[in-house]
């Protein structure tokens, strides 16, 4: 059958460079996105690392309290006295009204104890010189707000569909994947993208859907990886990867290694490593270890 398109491997070098540059930039972007997920959502339950709890807290929230209360009993505990904290919590439970904020003296406590850090100049933490900012933290912790979800949803839908537009377009010039599978690989990210966004909203309503977030995210990543790797291989390593097969590539790698690391060179470096480690061991035994031991001995003698 006649080809209806130019296969990736037959494109001109400038086009290959363009495609590769784009794929590399987008690939690095993907890695940064993963790091960001780890540091924002990953910390939601107070522990490092991603878990289903993180996803539930991020989207559904911790419905048994307010953020302000949770913090006053947690990482902000040291910033106010027992009595002041009690006063603030009392005010929250009474409805956190502006009038009472001023009359009950909570405003003074916040000014005295909190705006030291929580002010206009501080970045990344809320500015308590604005009442509305403080007030916002006295609502039930319902996770992501509808307005933030709306914002992130449309940014994700527009932005990510663009990324997959070009990754898919580049991949559509590949020739090693059968047409039906190509259609699946190209269409899948869009299905997963919509499922991913939908799953955030569903998780906001019911924490059960946190699993769908994980599933959709993994599916999107898998399609991305597959298209990325296939495109790069076909452009630059077609001969090795698809004609002469990986075995041949492996053989070439081994041959190259063998040529660089000849037996003689290997023996020499082995000997070098041996003498070096021998020397290090002697230094450790005769100088470092006694020195450290001496430090500890000094430390444990009573002062006086």
Contact residues for ligand HEC, defined by CB under 6 A: 67-68, 71-72, 75-76, 79-80, 113-114, 116-118, 125-126, 137
CB of 142 to ligand HEC, least distance (A): 13
11 neighbors 148 (Cβ within 8 angstroms): no
Nearer to ligand HEC by C-beta: 87 or 172? 87
Closest CA to 37 of 200, 247, 278: 200
CB of 199 to ligand HEC, least distance (A): 24
Cβ contacts of residue 217 below 8 Å, gap of 6+?
A: 192, 196
Q: How far apart are CA 283 and CA 294, in angstroms?
A: 16
Closest CA to 104 of 92, 114, 113: 92
Q: How far apart are CA 210 and CA 217, in angstroms?
A: 11
Residue in this structure with the two tokens 């993994």, named with its chain if needed? 218
Tokens matching residue 92: 């929250």
CB of 68 to ligand HEC, least distance (A): 5
CB of 119 to ligand HEC, least distance (A): 10
Nearer to ligand HEC by C-beta: 24 or 125? 125
CB of 99 to ligand HEC, least distance (A): 19
Burial class (CB in 10 A: 0-12, 13-18, 19+), 300: exposed
Nearer to ligand HEC by C-beta: 39 or 284? 39
CB of 115 to ligand HEC, least distance (A): 8
Nearer to ligand HEC by C-beta: 51 or 115? 115
Nearer to ligand HEC by C-beta: 111 or 267? 111
CB of 124 to ligand HEC, least distance (A): 7
Cβ contacts of residue 161 below 8 Å, gap of 6+?
A: 190, 193
Nearer to ligand HEC by C-beta: 134 or 197? 134
Nearer to ligand HEC by C-beta: 75 or 262? 75
Closest CA to 178 of 230, 245, 216: 230
Closest CA to 37 of 136, 170, 126, 156: 156
């Amino acid at each position: 059958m006649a080809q209806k398109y130019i296969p990736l491997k037959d494109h001109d070098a400038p086009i290959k460079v363009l495609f590769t540059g784009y794929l590399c930039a987008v690939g690095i972007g993907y890695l940064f996105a993963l790091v960001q997920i780890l540091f924002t959502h990953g910390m939601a339950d107070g522990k490092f690392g991603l878990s289903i709890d993180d996803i539930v807290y991020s989207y559904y929230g911790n419905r048994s309290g307010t953020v302000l209360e949770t913090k006053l009993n947690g990482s902000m505990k040291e910033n106010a006295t027992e009595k002041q904290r009690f006063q603030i919590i009392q005010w929250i439970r009474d409805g956190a009204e502006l009038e009472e904020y001023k009359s009950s003296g909570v405003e003074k406590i916040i000014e005295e104890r909190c705006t030291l850090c929580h002010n206009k100049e501080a970045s990344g933490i809320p500015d308590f010189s604005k009442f509305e900012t403080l007030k916002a933290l006295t609502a039930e912790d319902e996770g992501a707000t509808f307005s933030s979800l709306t914002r992130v949803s449309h940014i994700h839908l527009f932005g990510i569909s663009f990324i997959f537009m070009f990754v898919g377009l580049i991949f559509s010039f590949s020739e090693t994947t059968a047409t039906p599978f190509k259609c699946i690989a190209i269409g899948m990210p869009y299905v997963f993208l919509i499922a991913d966004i939908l799953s955030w909203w569903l998780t906001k309503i019911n924490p059960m859907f946190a699993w769908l977030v994980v599933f959709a995210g993994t599916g999107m990543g898998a399609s991305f990886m597959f298209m990325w790797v296939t495109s790069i291989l076909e452009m630059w390593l077609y001969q090795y990867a698809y004609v002469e097969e990986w075995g041949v590539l492996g053989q070439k790698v081994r041959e190259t290694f063998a040529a660089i690391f000849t037996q003689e060179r290997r023996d020499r470096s082995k000997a070098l490593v041996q003498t070096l480690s021998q020397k290090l061991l002697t230094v450790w035994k005769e100088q470092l270890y006694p020195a450290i031991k001496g430090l500890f001995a000094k430390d444990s003698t009573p002062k006086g």
